[in-house]
């Protein structure tokens, strides 16, 4: 099977160029200042979702209260082929083995056939692209259909064009699919460009769908992007885009974040590069801490992304996935270090996915709001509040404290609690946990650049 070239490269072009070349969001200090007027600065301690966490079940129905039998936290992969193509087999078991529960397959297959393949591997499907009402009605009761993304990056793609016309077109389309397939989420995936003059339109697009969804790829070959994935240094950082999506929807709609696990070959206006495993984990936890209730990775390394000169992640990355030839996609061979990075990122994603799955009952439970804890940072950083944290209830008692260092800085943090700390357990790190202070009111820990620490804290 081979997808049409127009479908192969469409979104890759948007990711690497079109969405942001019209009005670069990091163009000047003046624009950064304007963004601070439009998007509030964020403190170290996050308090989002104290009344309930908006999420979905496996088929897109919105929930606000965690239900162990129904609640679903999407762990998705963006843009995957299915089956044998050009002599290389893309086995969906690869995804489930790595802890993914959702796929966003490349546009070109019929929804019905895609759902059948997904069902064989217990995967949910987000269908990318336009659906007919007939196709939606035919699959409206399929247990593996989560939703439909109508358009990729509208704020960037339609900027300077008939934005209102496209917006009206989306509303009409959404109403039609919602009618034919009630419960399935219909939405757009947007750019991370939230600074003026895009703020108003970004907010409109990200409140119009059944979920808010955007991608944010802060890892580039640019100094300011290499130093941080958020905070004051990055006015369109993951912390701010996710927080704005949640706030614009009054914390009533799920927020899905697409994180970057890829590199663009060659130099260009937006030279995205492979994150390190630490940076990938930091991207995910920055999203979780600031309000994401679904995580999607861009992307699985396949022949399709290589056609757009993109190298993703894979448990078994190939130098190339097809031999060159007339009418074929570009093979775009990978360098040895690209292959090493692709495999390391897949290993990292597999571990992160396990963590999200274990944390799901806590992540989808209301944020703890009655404990006045604080964090103090020691060390030189490029911005205020480089460490962000969010506290949730632990199913077995006490709290889960999620923390992330947004900066390329070595830091120490001191956490202070109003009640005596009985115990601190470090999760997911295979090393000793920090000890509470002698007076039982604080504990401290060390952070490498882009480090993540997750604790279970029990107090009196």
The series of mean pLDDT values per 10 residues for the chain, 460 residues long, is 33 36 39 48 92 98 98 96 94 98 92 96 97 96 98 96 97 98 97 95 98 96 73 88 97 98 87 95 98 98 96 98 94 97 98 98 97 93 89 97 96 97 97 96 97 97
Question: Cα-Cα-Cα-Cα dihedral of 200, 202, 204, 209, to 10°?
Answer: -170
Domain carrying residue 408: 374-459
- Residues 298 and 393 grouped into a single domain: no
pTM, to two decimals:
0.92
- Residues 17 and 97 grouped into a single domain: yes
Q: Could you tell me if 393 and 365 are in contact, meaning their C-beta atoms sit under 8 angstroms apart?
A: yes
- Residues 275 and 153 grouped into a single domain: yes
Q: H-type helices in 327-382, by residue range? A: 336-363
Q: Could you tell me if 257 and 242 are in contact, meaning their C-beta atoms sit under 8 angstroms apart?
A: yes
Q: In the prediction, which pLDDT does 266 show?
A: 86
- Residues 352 and 378 grouped into a single domain: no
Q: In the prediction, which pLDDT does 224 show?
A: 54
Position 369 in a domain: no
Comparing CA positions, the residue from 420, 414, 418 lying closest to residue 434 is: 414
Q: H-type helices in 328-445, by residue range? A: 336-363
- Residues 427 and 303 grouped into a single domain: no
- Residues 108 and 22 grouped into a single domain: yes
C-alpha distances out from residue 406 to 241, 359, 383, Å = 14, 21, 9
CATH number at residue 112: 3.20.20.80
Domains contained in the chain, number: 2
Position 368 in a domain: no
Q: H-type helices in 301-335, by residue range? A: 303-307
Position 136 in a domain: yes
- Mode of pairing for the β-strands spanning 255-260 and 294-298: parallel
In terms of Cβ atoms closer than 10 Å to its own Cβ (0-12, 13-18, 19+), residue 210 is buried
């Amino acid at each position: 099977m081979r997808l049409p070239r127009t479908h192969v490269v469409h979104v890759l072009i948007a990711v690497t160029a079109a969405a942001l070349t019209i009005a670069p969001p990091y163009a000047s200090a003046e624009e950064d200042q304007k963004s601070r007027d439009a998007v509030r600065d964020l403190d170290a301690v996050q308090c989002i979702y104290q009344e309930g966490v908006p999420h979905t079940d496996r088929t897109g129905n919105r929930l606000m209260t965690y239900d162990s039998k129904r609640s679903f936290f999407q762990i998705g992969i963006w843009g995957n082929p299915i089956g044998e193509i050009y002599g290389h087999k893309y086995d969906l078991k690869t995804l489930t083995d790595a802890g993914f529960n959702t796929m966003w397959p490349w546009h070109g297959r019929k929804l019905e056939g895609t759902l059948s393949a997904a069902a064989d591997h217990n995967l949910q499907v987000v269908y990318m692209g336009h659906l007919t009402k007939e196709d939606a009605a035919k699959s409206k009761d399929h247990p593996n259909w989560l939703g439909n993304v109508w358009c990729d990056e509208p704020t960037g793609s339609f900027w300077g064009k008939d934005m209102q016309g496209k917006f009206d077109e989306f509303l009409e389309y959404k109403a039609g699919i919602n009618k034919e397939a009630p419960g399935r989420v219909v939405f757009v995936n947007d750019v991370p460009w939230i600074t003026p003059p895009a703020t108003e339109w970004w907010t409109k697009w990200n409140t119009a769908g059944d979920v808010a969804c955007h991608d944010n790829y802060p890892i580039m070959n640019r100094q300011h992007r290499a130093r941080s994935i958020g905070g004051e240094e990055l006015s369109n950082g993951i912390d701010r885009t996710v927080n704005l999506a949640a706030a614009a929807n009054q914390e009533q709609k799920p927020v899905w974040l697409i994180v970057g696990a890829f590199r663009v070959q060659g130099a260009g206006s937006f030279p995205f590069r492979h994150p390190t495993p630490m940076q990938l984990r930091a991207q995910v936890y920055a999203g979780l801490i600031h309000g994401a209730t679904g995580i999607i990775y861009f992307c699985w390394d396949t022949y399709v992304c290589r056609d757009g000169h993109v190298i993703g992640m894979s448990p078994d990355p190939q130098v190339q996935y097809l031999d060159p030839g007339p009418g074929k996609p570009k093979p775009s061979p990978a360098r040895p270090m690209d292959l090493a990075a692709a495999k390391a990122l897949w290993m990292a994603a597999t571990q992160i996915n396990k963590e999200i799955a274990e944390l799901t009952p806590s992540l989808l439970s209301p944020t703890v709001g009655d404990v006045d804890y604080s964090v103090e940072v020691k060390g030189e950083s490029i911005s205020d509040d480089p460490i962000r944290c969010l506290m949730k209830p632990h199913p077995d008692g006490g709290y889960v404290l999620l923390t992330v260092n947004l900066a390329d800085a070595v830091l120490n943090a001191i956490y202070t609690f109003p009640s005596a700390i009985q115990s601190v357990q470090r999760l997911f790190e295979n090393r000793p946990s920090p000890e509470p202070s002698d007076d039982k009111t604080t504990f401290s820990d060390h952070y490498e650049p882009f480090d993540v620490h997750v604790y279970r804290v029990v107090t009196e």
